[in-house]
Amino acid sequence: MDAIRAYALFFVAIFFSGLMQPSNGQAVSKPSQLFDGKTIDLGRAYVLMLAALLITYIVH
């Protein structure tokens, strides 16, 4: 019975030490801008690809 208590205590200690590690994580970084240049360029590329797809569909 003492061995079971020792294993249970060991398991609980490991479990709680694992829970305490994420609390020591990185500091919060500054919030990024909502729309940066890369996002706008990506949006334009998607619109152009959609337009090309629609034109190809209409032509065929």
Per-residue pLDDT band at 28 (split at 50, 70, 90): low
Give the span between the Cα atoms of 1 and 18, in whole angstroms.
Answer: 26
pLDDT value for 25: 60
Which two three-digit tokens encode residue 16? 């709680």
- Inform me whether the pLDDT recorded for 59 exceeds 80: yes
The sign of the torsion formed by the CA atoms of 24, 25, 29, 35 equals negative
| Mean pLDDT within 16-26 | 63
Asked if residue 3 has pLDDT above 70, the reply is yes
CA dihedral (25, 26, 30, 32) positive or negative: negative
Taking the CA atoms of 30, 34, 39 and 40 in sequence, report the sign of the dihedral they define: negative
